[in-house]
Amino acid sequence: MGVLVVGTVTLDTVETPNKRVENVLGGSGVYAAVAASFFGNPVRLVGVVGADFPHIYADFLHTRGIDLQGVKREGSGKTFRWGGRYAEDFNVRDTLFTELNVVSDFHPVLPETYKETPYLFLANNSPSLQLSIVEQATHPKLIVCDTMDFWINEEREALEALLARVDILILNDSEALLLTGDSNLIRAAQVILRYGPKRVIIKKGEHGAISVTESSFFSAPAYPLTQVIDPTGAGDSFAGGMIGYLASVEDTSEKAIRSAMVYGTVVASFNIEDFSINRQKDVQFSEISSRYCELQEVVRF
Amino acid sequence: MGVLVVGTVTLDTVETPNKRVENVLGGSGVYAAVAASFFGNPVRLVGVVGADFPHIYADFLHTRGIDLQGVKREGSGKTFRWGGRYAEDFNVRDTLFTELNVVSDFHPVLPETYKETPYLFLANNSPSLQLSIVEQATHPKLIVCDTMDFWINEEREALEALLARVDILILNDSEALLLTGDSNLIRAAQVILRYGPKRVIIKKGEHGAISVTESSFFSAPAYPLTQVIDPTGAGDSFAGGMIGYLASVEDTSEKAIRSAMVYGTVVASFNIEDFSINRQKDVQFSEISSRYCELQEVVRF
C-alpha cells in the first residue's frame, strides 16, 4: 500500500566532534521517505525545494522509488537550510542556523494521485499545515504525526485540533513533558490520548521507545550501538520505517505496530551510523531483518 | 541455596513532595535481604545496628526468614541514620544528612554458618570492606557487588581490586559514566568488563536495566508504574530480587540471569509503591509472578 510523507527537504550542515559536512541531503521528509522505501511500497513525498536543490539528490530519491511529484521546485527561491552541532556525547544539539527560504510560504496541495494514499506520515511541521493535509486525504487508513516544542508552545490550539484527527502521535520524551507537564511518561501519554489520538509513541533515544494506548503498553528496545556518527534524522527514520512496514503488511493491529516500531528502530540505527542518508544507500533488507532478529534476542527472557 | 547479603541497616528519614517519614527501616542490606526473601532461600544478613535499633524491625526481618546472626548490635552506639529529600519528579534526590554512627568502625566478620553461602550480594560499601567479605567466603558460586560515586572517586584502586574478584558488578548509568568516562553505556560496560567482572549490569531507573558480557547483551524493561511513592532502596531491591531468584533456581546461566533481572525489576517496582519496606510486607509471590508475566507482554513483538 502507498505511503505519503509530508516533510522538509533540506540542505544540512552538521558538525560533530569528529567531522563537519556541508549542504548534505536532509530534512524530515527525506529521512522518513528513505526509511519507508525499504519496505517495498510506493512512497510519495510532499515538500518544497529551491532552484539550488542538487539534481543528484533528486535522482537518488528517484532510485529509491520515491515519487517526487509532490515536491515543488520553487524556481525563484532557495532550499531550506539547517545547521546543527553535536556535543561530545551526542545528547546535546545546538542549532547553528535555520534558513526557512522556500518553506516559509509553502502551502502543500496534494497531487490528485496522492490523495487516496492510505498511510500518512506528517513529519514535524506547523499543526495547521499538517491538518490541511489530513483534510486533503480522501482514504486515510492510518495517520501518524510528529510535532516539536515550538508548536507545543506557539500553536497549542491548532495542535490540539490536529491531535483530534490523527491515529498516532509520535514525540520525544521532553516534548511529552512539555505538552502535558507530567514527567512520568506513561501518565503523560495517557493525558495525550485524551486529545484524540488512539496511540502515543514516545521516543527515548538510546533508551528505546514506548507505545501507549487505552489498553496496551509496549516498550521497544533501542538497538545497542557503540558508535554514533550523526543522529540527525533518527526520529524521522524511526517514523518512516514504522509506517513503511505497516503499509507493507496492510495491518494496523497492536502486533503489527509493535513490529513496526522495531523496524523503525532498526532503520534509525543504520541512519545514525553515517551523515545524511549515506548509510541507508547500501543497506540491504537482509541487514534490516538481521537487526530485527537481534533485537528479539536482546529483550528475550 | 543460601543468599548472603552484606549491607547497611539504617533508620531513614525520607521527604517526598507528598509526605515525610522518620526513622523508618531502611538500608541497602535490608532492602536487598527483604527482596531476596521472596524466593524461598535462607537469607543471611551482615550489618551493624546500635542499641537504639527497634526490636519490631528486627522481628519483622525474622518473620521474613532473614537470619540476623550476622547483624551485630553495638550496645554503645547508634544506628546509621540517613535523611533524603526527593524533588517533584523523583529524579533528583538530595541527601539531607548521613550519620554513620556504628557503621564507621564496622569490620564485618562472617559467622561460621555464613561462610559457605554460595550466593553473595555485596551492597554498596567501601570496596576494601567488600573485598574482605569475598576473602571470608569459602564456597562462593556467584558474587554480585554494587558501588557508588564516592568509592569510584575516593577508593579507585581498592575498587579495581574488588572488580577482579566478583562475577557481576551492578551500578547505575551515572556511575558507569564516572567509572569509565564513557557516556555510551554499552562501551562503558565493555570497559568495566576488562577490570574482571564477567558481567556488568547498568540500572537506568525508569528506562530499565541492561546487562553486558563479552558475548551477550540484554535489555530489561522497567515496570510501567504511574505512581511513585518513594524510590529509596529500588536499586538494592533489584539486586536482592535478582540474587534471590538465582539462588532459588541454582543457575547462573545467561537465561537465568535475564529472568533474575526481571524478577529484580518486579520486586523493585513494589518497593517504590510505598515508603520503607511497607509495600513488600503484603506482597504475595503470585503478585510477583503476575508482574513478571506482564513484563513479558510489555516487550513482546
Q: Do B226 and A186 touch (CB under 8 A)?
A: yes
User: Which cell numbers in the block locate residue A63?
Assistant: 532510485
- pLDDT more than 70, % of chain A: 100
- Determine the average pLDDT of the residues in B216-244: 97
Cα angle at A108 between A103 and A111, to 5 degrees? 140
- The answer on pLDDT for B89 being more than 90 is no
B147: left (phi over 0), alpha (psi -120 to 50) or beta: beta
Given a contact cutoff of 8 angstroms between Cβ atoms, the answer to whether B121 and B2 are in contact is no
Query: Does residue B222 belong to the interface with chain A, where contact is any CB pair within 8 Å?
Result: yes
CB-based contact B2:B44 (threshold 8 Å): yes
Instruction: Give the whole-angstrom CA distance, residue A291 versus residue A297.
Output: 10
Order the strands of the A10-15 sheet from edge to edge. A20-26, A10-15, A80-86, A93-99
* Strands, sheet with A168-172, edge to edge from the N-terminal-most edge strand: A66-74, A43-50, A3-6, A119-122, A142-146, A168-172, A199-203, A209-212, A217-220
Tell me the Cα Rg of chain B: 18
Whether residue A301 and residue B262 make contact (CB cut-off 8 A), yes or no, is: yes
**Cβ of A298 and B221 within 8 Å?**
no
- The secondary element (H helix, E strand) that includes residue B242 is helix B234-249
Determine contact: B298 vs chain A, CB below 8 A: yes
Q: pLDDT averaged over chain A?
A: 96
To test the contact with chain A by mutation, choose from B193, B299, B300 the residue with the greatest count of A C-beta atoms within 10 A, namely B299
Mean pLDDT for the stretch of residues B284-291: 98
Residue bearing cell 571470608: B136
How confident is the model over A71-96, as a mean pLDDT? 92
CA B208 to each of CA A149, A227, B235, B268: distance values in angstroms, whole numbers, following the listed order: 26, 21, 11, 11
Closest Cα to residue A185, out of B274, B90, B226? B226
Average pLDDT, chain B: 96
State the ipTM, two decimals: 0.94
Rounded to whole angstroms, what are the CA distances from B213 to A296, B146, B255? 18, 17, 13
Say which amino acid occupies A177: L
For residue A226, the chain B residues in CB contact (below 8 A) are: 184, 186-187, 190
pLDDT at A56: 97
Q: How many CB atoms lie within 10 A of CB A98?
A: 13
pLDDT at A92 over 90: no
Residue found under cell 509495600: B279
Closest by Cβ to B217, choosing from A206, A224, A296 = A224
Residue B299: the pLDDT is: 98
pLDDT at A191 over 90: yes
Please tell me the predicted confidence (pLDDT) of residue A104: 87
pLDDT score recorded for residue B113: 95
- The chain B residue lying nearest A297, using CA atoms, is B218
